[in-house]
Amino acid sequence: MKPNLYVALVHYPVINKSGNIIASAVTNLDLHDMARASRTYGVKKFYVVTPIEDQKELTQEIISHWTSGIGSTLNPDRRQALELICIRDSVNAVMEDISTDGNGYPKTVVTSAKDSPDYITYPELREMLEDFNPYLLIFGTGWGLAEEIVLKADYLLEPVKGNTDYNHLSVRSACSIILDRLISR
């Protein structure tokens, strides 16, 4: 199955440890690992969301090194993954971009490490993905997505949980686990 799935990593608006809305920094590891997971599981595009010009420039430099610079010849597999990355200022801009693919606006699915009575399960979302309508799976950095993003979403996905009460995965780890749960053969 290759669903009509897109992934976004949001750096603004997210919250910090104190619950304040912030813009978090783009990290090289998140870009590489989430792009590679997206490529592995057939995600159509991987969006990096930040309105901060310096962060957009840094992200573009990293992408360019691996897609058109020396990295593209040294590691063609990495090039394929990083070619999936699109930089946008906001989740709304991501939605607009996806809508131009011809299938309309995507249904949005936010992720969180927090429990909620309103979440959908992995099997429920896996079944929804079979309808081939576009879906945008949204991950947050920092201490999670700002409430304004969560409240606008169509769905909240159940959190990734291990077999302990510790629940503080990196976003890149959570992304890989979630994509595997949704799309693996």
What digits encode the pLDDT tens for the residues 45-74?
A: 999 999 999 999 999 999 999 999 999 999
80 pLDDT more than 80 = yes
CATH of the domain at 64: 3.40.1280.10
> From the CB of residue 44, how many other CB atoms can be counted at a distance below 10 Å?
18
- How many structural domains does the chain have? 1
Across the chain, which distance is largest between two alpha carbons, in Å?
Answer: 49
CA atoms within 13 A on the CB side of 178: 30
For residue 47, give its domain range.
5-183
Contact yes or no for 112/138 (Cβ under 8 A):
no
Percentage of the chain modeled with pLDDT above 70: 99
Structure tokens at 172: 């890149």
Contact yes or no for 54/24 (Cβ under 8 A):
no
Task: Tell me the whole-structure pTM to 2 decimals.
Answer: 0.96
- Sheet containing 135-140: give its strands across: 85-88, 46-49, 5-10, 135-140, 107-110, 155-156
Report which residue type is found at 63: I
* pLDDT for the residue numbered 1: 58
Give the alpha-carbon dihedral of 152, 11, 8, 182, to 10 degrees. -90
Which of 89, 116, 93, 94 has its CA nearest to residue 43?
A: 94
132 pLDDT more than 90 = no
Please state the φ and ψ torsions of residue 103, each to the nearest 5 degrees. Answer: -110, 10
How would you classify the pairing of strands 14-15 and 21-22? Answer: antiparallel
What digits encode the pLDDT tens for the residues 99-118?
A: 998 889 999 999 999 888 89
Burial of 155 (0-12, 13-18, 19+ CB in 10 A): middle
Mean pLDDT of the chain: 95
